[in-house]
Structure 1
Amino acid sequence: MIETYEEAIAWVQGRLKLGIKPGLERMQWLMEKWNHPEDNIKTIHIAGTNGKGSTVCYLRNILQQAKYEVGTFTSPYLEQFNERISINGVPIQDHELVLLVNAIKPLAEELEETDLGSPTEFEVITAMAIYYFAAIHPVDIVLFEVGLGGRLDSTNVISPLMSIITNIGHDHMNILGNSLAEIAYEKAGIIKHKVPVITAVEQQEALHVIEQKASEQRSSLYRANQEFTVVHKQSTGNGEMFSLISPLINEENMQISMKGHHQVYNASLAVIAVTLLNQLDDFHIDQHAIQTGLINSRWSGRFEQLSKHPLIIIDGAHNPEGIKSLVETIQTHLKDKNIRIVFSALGDKSLHEMIPQLDDVADSILFTTFDFPRAIPAKALFDISHHEHKTYIEDWRAGIQQIVKELQETDALVITGSLYFIAEVRKYLLEQ
């Protein structure tokens, strides 16, 4: 029997050593033992290489503005483990986590004795989230963010009202495949029979895979710039303005507070999703809820301004497409600033595609590392870079402290890379 929050967290995170085990067999076994709680919750399923968290954030805020109680299952967390299972943006309480661990622990131990083997950390957390929203705190709707891929991801036991695929990029290629088509095949695995699909995927190679899967499943498909048109109108000091045109909705001046051209597409996916909800189920989301929800949406660690004087921004750009979006946002919103970048990453990323992009936009760049199993040494990152003003330091705290002391009004410090790194940096800087 687990009695304390600390014991509960230790038990869950102790399963990290089991690694990633793609497949749904263990999740299906757990759901069967609980008499299929996943069938008793209304859900939206969100997959994609980047933008999942932001899309969930837009959806949650819009639905909250429409007075719905919204559950979310997301990963990773930035400040507190409990964030992964939240209601209206508020993480579950410590005693609830203890309750959930005590519910899943005996099943995990029983499963371990079968041929299927032990459930992984992510499988355990997913099962806990499903059980929580079905049996402990039912809500109006739950937004489930895919952990990795889609087809074999543990979240794929749900039967959603709709599926969203934000985009396709080069990430986790050691597991998902080397081509965009192979990666798209895994993401498209969340598409269910006659369940509508919304996507902002643009690359024809990847989009073709999604179209084929939607056709096989007889699922209505809503594609950006086909079934709905997104027009980025302008960037402002407060965010972005865009138009969204479709048979479902026609709005000329929509506004978001999150910065970056890519955020326009994430917001559009959320808007199309809620307009479909109005048609599909017992939901009513009006235009005021949509616009207010969009403006109120902010997602920690995504071009987040932690300080104005000096200007410090953190952004969890952890793959080539994420870096590309970050660079574009820097060029739009920080074009009058001297850009100083701090970067740290995991060793399984496409660093030879990421670092040259940062070299191009930075006036100076510091490479560092952090305490995480797959974090790459600072010197290894430094060696990839060809920047004229590059340095490296193993102690990221000391490196950031030194740069902050040197910052002028004309400077912007952008700290980016692994989300695990960003989580540590964010906590440290906010405490400072």
Structure 2
Amino acid sequence: MKTSSETIDWIHSLLPFGIKPGLKRMEWMLDKLDHPEKRLKTIHVGGTNGKGSTVSFLRHALEEAGYCIGTFTSPYIETFEERISVNGVPIEEEALVNCANRIRPLVEELAESDLGSPTEFEVITTIGFLYFATIAKVDLVIVEVGLGGRLDSTNVITPLISVITSIGFDHMHILGNSLEEITSEKAGIIKENCPIVSGVSQAEGRAIIREKAKQTSSPYYQLGEDFTQLLMESSEEKQVFEYQSKENRVITLTMQGPHQRENASVAIAVLDLLKNMGFTIGERELIRGLQKTTWLGRFEKISNHPLIVLDGAHNKEGLASLANTLKQHYPNRKYRFLLAATKEKDMEILLEPFSEMDAHFTFTSFDFFRAAEATTLYNQSPVALNQKGYHQNWETAFDEEMKMLDNRTMLIVCGSLYFVSTVRKKWYSKKDMNQM
């Protein structure tokens, strides 16, 4: 392989191997590579929602403090390469090709063994560890869990700190149907004598994490118990809150919504632990880094006039957070939603948070093998949502929605991160064309 395009095509060719929970294939490949993951200092971030935002809060604060920070995240919004980044800069072509060519013979050898071929995500994870350890040589890597925790391919690391941002109902066909089952899978990232910081809100979830921390002799820090946050001021542009712990801080965020105050609070607790481990992070750098933080596709404004927001909310808890964000920051606006989702989603459950809001929903679809039909989403949606319509072609639907916007009305594009990514690419490609 000589180019990024060839390399990414090869990686995607492993997609048919699907999701195969377990760590044996990862351990086999990493052993052959002399364990690059053991040469890295890491933070491991799991949870249902809030992982990406928490990773971004941590990265920006640590960058402000002068550190070189690797991030491993998924899925991507703009380009495949952004999943493996250093200080926000995606892996360069030469490095991606180099790492993939080193790994490909191992993948082929493994495919012929009893363990079978590694999955696409396992190969991407291995490329990330190899790149960070041998080429980028970063100070710290913030690793986002792909799915679950206990059997996720990232769970081969022994981090400085483990983080569980939240627990909700997603990927239940793999993680379990109860909050307790899902939490147990997420808590699988907790390692022996490794501090755990939790943003989990449910009492039953906290109890499981607390018990796992006790079993592993891991110091446990819980949002709402060991640290908390209190909103002070809010507008369409920002929110200001007080972080309350052993020392209180006033924090300004451009990231919007109550859930982002919680994610930022979890990040601050992690940063304070890192300071105790010898990292030098000044108060000014910490506060400035959090204020600078943005995250593509998470309540991202792509236009102010008219107001258009992209949000990757795609499960019950994520859409509840989106509804709360609108109530907090945009209480006097009229809302129009353009929504596409994957086949396994239940609209009646997902849209319940909006049943009392003055909102219009247009359901659509997009070019993705798991995308639901627009009519299916329309028919599933709650009867209480009497302001609704559908159009199978999302670009036509988007153009129609644009005609409905005025100074009081905003458009929210949501339902799937894959859909948000599709809309975002089209929006910015059009803008670029108009500027030529």
TM range (shorter): over 0.9
Counterpart residue number, 1:250: 248
Give the deviation of 1:381 after TM superposition: 0.4
Query: Where do residues 107-186 of structure 1 align in structure 2 (5 Å cutoff)?
Result: 107-186=106-185
Unaligned runs of 5+ in 2: 431-436
The unaligned stretches of length 5 or more in structure 1 are none
Q: Does residue 1:73 correspond to 2:72, yes or no?
A: yes
Cα deviation for residue 362 of structure 1 reads 4.7
CA offsets 1:180-225 (integer angstroms, 9 cap, x no match): 1100000000000000000011111111110110000000000011
Task: Identify which of 368, 371, 379 aligns with 1:372.
Answer: 368
In the other structure, the counterpart of 1:293 is: 289
- Residues 23, 362 of structure 1: alpha-carbon distance in 2 compared, 3 angstrom cutoff: farther
Percent of aligned pairs with the same amino acid? 46
- Amino acid in structure 2 at the alignment position of 1:398: T
Counterpart amino acid of residue 238 in structure 2: G
2: CA distance between counterparts of 1:211 and 1:348?
Answer: 32
1:249-398 alignment, distance < 5 Å? 249-251=247-249, 253-280=250-277, 282-385=278-381, 386=383, 387-398=385-396
Matched residue type, 1:25: K
Contact 1:239–1:260 (CA<8 Å) still a contact in 2? no
The residue matched to 2:365 in structure 1 has which SS?
A: coil
Equivalent residue letter for 1:287: E
Whole-angstrom CA distance in 2 between matches of 1:4 and 1:328: 44
Provide Cα deviations, 1:244-264, integer angstroms capped at 9, x if missing partner: 2223x321x211110001000
Which amino acid counterpart does residue 396 of structure 1 have in structure 2? W
Q: Matched residues in 2 for 1:153 and 1:286: separation?
A: 34
Distance 2:290 2:219 in 1: 25
Deviation at 1:93, TM superposition (A): 1.0
How far is the alpha carbon of 1:6 from its aligned partner?
1.2
Change (3 A) 1:75 1:329: same
2:26 maps to amino acid: M
Aligned to 1:58: 57
Cα deviation for residue 405 of structure 1 reads 2.5
Give the deviation of 1:286 after TM superposition. 1.0
Q: State which drifts further: 100-109 or 66-75.
A: 100-109
Contact 1:168 1:201 in 2 (8 A): yes
Q: 1:359 offset after TM fit, Å? A: 4.3
Secondary structure of 2:81 counterpart: helix
CA distance in 2, matches of 1:177, 1:65: 39
- Give the CA RMSD over aligned residues: 1.1
Instruction: Summarize the Cα distance change of 1:350–1:184 in structure 2 as closer, same or farther, 3 Å threshold.
Output: farther
Helix, strand or coil for the counterpart of 1:394? strand
User: 1:342 is aligned with what amino acid?
Assistant: L
The one-letter code sitting in structure 2 at the alignment partner of 1:409 is: N
What CA distance in whole angstroms lies between the structure 2 residues aligned with 1:331 and 1:73?
32
Q: Following superposition, which runs of at least 4 residues in structure 1 exceed 6 angstroms of deviation?
A: none
Q: Distance in 1 between matches of 2:235 and 2:290?
A: 15
Query: Given the superposition, is the C-alpha separation of residues 377 and 153 from structure 1 closer, same or farther in structure 2, using an over 3 Å criterion?
Result: same
1:361 deviates by: 2.8
Instruction: Report how far residue 316 of structure 1 moved.
Output: 0.4
Q: CA separation in 1, counterparts of 2:284 and 2:121?
A: 37
Spell out, residue by residue over 1:119-166, the C-alpha distance to the aligned partner (whole angstroms, 9 max, x if none).
Answer: 000000000000111111110000000000000000000110000000
Q: In the alignment, which residue of structure 2 is the partner of 1:21?
A: 20
Output the amino acid matched with 2:217.
Answer: R
What TM-score, normalized by structure 2, do the two folds share?
Answer: 0.96
Q: Matched residues in 2 for 1:14 and 1:4: separation?
A: 15
Tell me if the contact between 2:228 and 2:265 (Cα under 8 Å) persists in the aligned partners. no
- The 8 Å contact of residues 341 and 416 in structure 2, kept in 1 or not, is answered as yes
> Residue in 1 aligned with 2:426?
428
CA distance in 1, matches of 2:112, 2:359: 56
Amino acid paired to 2:54: T
* Equivalent residues of 1:319, 1:350 under 8 A apart: no
- Given residue 272 of structure 1, which amino acid in structure 2 is its aligned partner? A
> Is 2:241–2:251's contact at 8 Å kept on the other side of the alignment?
yes
Q: What is residue 418 of structure 1 aligned with on the other side?
A: 416
Aligned partners of 1:21, 1:68: CA distance in 2, in Å? 35
| Alignment partners' CA distance in 2, 1:82 and 1:274 | 27
| Distance in 2 (alpha carbons) for counterparts of 1:230 and 1:194 | 27
Distance in 2 separating the partners of 1:196 and 1:391: 48
Matched with 1:87 is: 86
Give the deviation of 1:232 after TM superposition: 2.3
When residues 66 and 405 of structure 1 are mapped into structure 2, their CA distance, relative to the original with a 3 A threshold, is same
Q: How far apart are residue 16 of structure 1 and its match?
A: 1.0
Q: Aligned with 2:85: secondary structure?
A: strand
Q: Distance in 1 between matches of 2:254 and 2:62?
A: 17
Distance 2:166 2:363 in 1: 28
For 2:98, the equivalent position in structure 1 comes to 99
Distance 2:167 2:263 in 1: 13
Equivalent pairs, count: 428
